């Protein structure tokens, strides 16, 4: 049965085409419709894709009576009433990494321009036709200390690029492991005053209660005279009134800003100051990032509708800010492994257990919730989210357990999901490489190294010569292209192949694979 998706704001056509061609999607395109007409189109929508121009507020939600999911095509969710969505059981997601490089490069643009007063020199020559080199002495980046507030995807990449200029990097982020910073030859600090002592400060955090006005007159007073401040993240992280005063006094030598507390900011005191470079929120405005945002939004929508996962869900059943990004990534990996495990079982799933070692074991309760969502979304017809998963599991008699794994393991932060039905069980283990790249590393004792995504054939067989050739030939004869082929072997003469393919696999093809004399077990899954 097709599920109804509505696109409320313009996204790149590549993402639109993905949804148009998806067999499970009934697509409504509303981005060229007036807002008053949009509300009349929301009634049947189960998933809405928005950008910043459509407020997802009470009026929107009252019109969207059947809405289950909202995907904000971009990073900021200022226009989405997350609390109200949560009360209604609507899962809110964003696309935080699609414009990473665009935001990083815009930050570097402001960093270099601020150090060299580029905008003023440019305007004086081009607009006034004045050639006075002595007016524009800049400062070199080499040897300067750069304070990075927020060391996520964007902050970390800004830091590595600044390091190439010969800058010394000091990073502050209470939600990352210190090794993520120190392994790059940078300094990690838990003392915010270390940031305030830097020559240049750049901020890369979300906007929330904790980060709004994180830099005020109090913090500026502790800074070096002539400090340079950069903000390409969200408006309001720096107190703008205090920033104006500091720029006028010269305490802050220069500021490079792409964002403002209230936008559009066409009549703002900051625009009147000569020691400010400004752009109209262009951080994501590259051709490449707009394509990435669109495609990722569409792909994430399909994962949601298929019950694979809820990528980058923002209203999770955990305290806001309590879970670092790497732990959230482990939660999504756990959900994917549970979804995969449930698909490999032949009958109804009865129990799911999650075990973990290392630091990720601190988040076992959340891992268990995500595993329940993954298992249940395969097992039952109605969709399950992070809010109702524990209740649905109890109703269905699905036992969800968690435990700390105290056994020896070659991996730190290994998570294992074991799913069982009345006759058999399957376990799948996974890790994040570098806390960023998810990998399945073990399936029922067979070593693997595979990204948990795509159309997958799991083929267990007696480990004899010629099996891989037979499997490849059979798939080729059925015009099924192999994208990846991972093979694990045990010491008992058995092997398991995890084959990722580009095409749908019919029941007939799976039966043909199972009929091969060497085959022991064949299953198919889509992630």
Active site residue ranges: 234, 263, 281
Q: Are 61 and 42 in contact (CB under 8 A)?
A: no
Cα–Cα dist 164/186, whole Å: 12
Q: Kindly tell me the sign of the dihedral angle through the C-alpha atoms of 208, 209, 211, 212.
A: positive
Instruction: List, in order, residues 6 or more apart from 210 with CB less than 8 Å away.
Output: 321
Reading phi first (left if > 0) and then psi (alpha if -120 to 50, else beta), residue 423 is in: alpha
Reading phi first (left if > 0) and then psi (alpha if -120 to 50, else beta), residue 430 is in: beta
Q: Are 259 and 231 in contact (CB under 8 A)?
A: yes
Give the pair of three-digit tokens for residue 186: 């940078």
Give the pair of three-digit tokens for residue 225: 């005279």
3-class DSSP state for residue 496?
Answer: strand
Q: Kindly tell me the sign of the dihedral angle through the C-alpha atoms of 91, 97, 102, 103.
A: positive
Cα–Cα dist 200/197, whole Å: 9
Q: What is the DSSP string of 169-225?
A: EEEE-TTS-HHHHHTTT-EEES-HHHHHTSSEEEE----STTTTT-B-HHHHHTSPT
Q: Please, which residues bridge with residue 486 across strands?
A: 498
Q: What is the DSSP string of 54-112?
A: S-BSHHHHHH-TT--EEEESSS--TTB-HHHHHHTT-EEEE--STTHHHHHHHHHHHHH
Cα–Cα dist 424/419, whole Å: 9
């Amino acid at each position: 049965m097709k599920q109804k998706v509505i696109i409320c704001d313009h996204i790149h056509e590549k993402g639109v085409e993905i949804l148009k061609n998806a067999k499970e999607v009934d697509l409504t395109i509303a981005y060229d419709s007036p807002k008053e007409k949009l509300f009349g189109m929301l009634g049947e929508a189960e998933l809405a894709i928005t950008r910043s121009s459509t407020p997802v507020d009470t009026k929107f939600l009252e019109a969207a009576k059947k809405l289950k999911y909202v995907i904000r095509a971009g990073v900021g969710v200022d226009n989405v009433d997350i609390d109200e969505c949560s009360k209604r059981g609507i899962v809110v997601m964003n696309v935080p990494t699609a414009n990473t490089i665009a935001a990083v490069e815009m930050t570097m643009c402001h960093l270099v321009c601020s150090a060299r007063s580029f905008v003023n020199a440019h305007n004086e020559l081009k607009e006034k036709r004045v050639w006075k080199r002595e007016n524009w002495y800049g400062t070199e980046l080499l040897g300067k200390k750069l304070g990075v507030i927020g060391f996520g995807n964007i902050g970390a990449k800004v830091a590595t690029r600044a390091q190439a200029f010969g800058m010394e990097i000091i990073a502050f982020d209470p939600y990352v492991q210190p090794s993520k910073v120190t392994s790059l030859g940078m300094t990690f600090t838990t003392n915010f005053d270390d940031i305030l002592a830097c020559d240049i400060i750049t901020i890369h955090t979300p906007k929330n209660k904790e980060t709004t006005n994180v830099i005020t007159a109090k913090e500026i007073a502790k800074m070096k005279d002539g400090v340079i401040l950069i903000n390409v993240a969200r408006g309001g992280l720096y107190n703008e009134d205090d920033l104006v005063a500091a720029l006028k006094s010269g305490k802050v030598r220069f500021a490079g800003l792409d964002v403002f507390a209230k936008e559009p900011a066409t009549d703002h005191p900051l625009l009147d100051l000569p020691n400010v470079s400004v752009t109209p929120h262009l951080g994501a405005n590259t051709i490449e990032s707009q394509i990435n945002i669109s495609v990722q939004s569409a792909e994430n929508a399909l994962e949601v509708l298929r019950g694979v996962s809820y990528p980058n869900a923002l209203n999770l059943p955990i305290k806001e800010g309590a879970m670092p990004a790497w732990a959230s990534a482990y939660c999504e990996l756990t959900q994917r492994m549970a979804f995969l495990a449930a698909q490999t079982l032949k009958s109804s799933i009865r129990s799911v257990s999650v075990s973990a070692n290392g630091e990720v074991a601190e988040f076992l309760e959340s891992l268990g919730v995500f595993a329940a969502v993954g298992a249940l979304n395969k097992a039952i017809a109605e969709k399950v989210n992070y809010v109702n998963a524990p209740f649905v599991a109890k109703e269905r008699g699905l036992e969800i357990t968690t435990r700390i794994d105290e056994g020896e393991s070659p991996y730190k932060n290994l998570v294992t999901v074991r799913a069982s039905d009345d006759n058999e069980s399957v376990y799948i283990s996974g890790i994040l490489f570098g806390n960023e790249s998810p990998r399945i590393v073990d399936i029922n004792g067979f070593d693997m190294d595979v990204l948990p995504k795509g159309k997958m054939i799991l083929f267990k067989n007696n480990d004899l010569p010629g099996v891989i050739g037979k499997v490849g030939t059979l798939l080729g004869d059925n015009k099924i292209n192999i994208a990846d082929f991972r093979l694990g072997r045990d010491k008992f003469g058995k092997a398991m192949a995890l084959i990722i393919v580009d095409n749908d696999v019919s029941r007939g093809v799976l039966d043909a694979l199972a009929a091969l004399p060497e085959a022991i077990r064949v299953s198919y899954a889509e992630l």
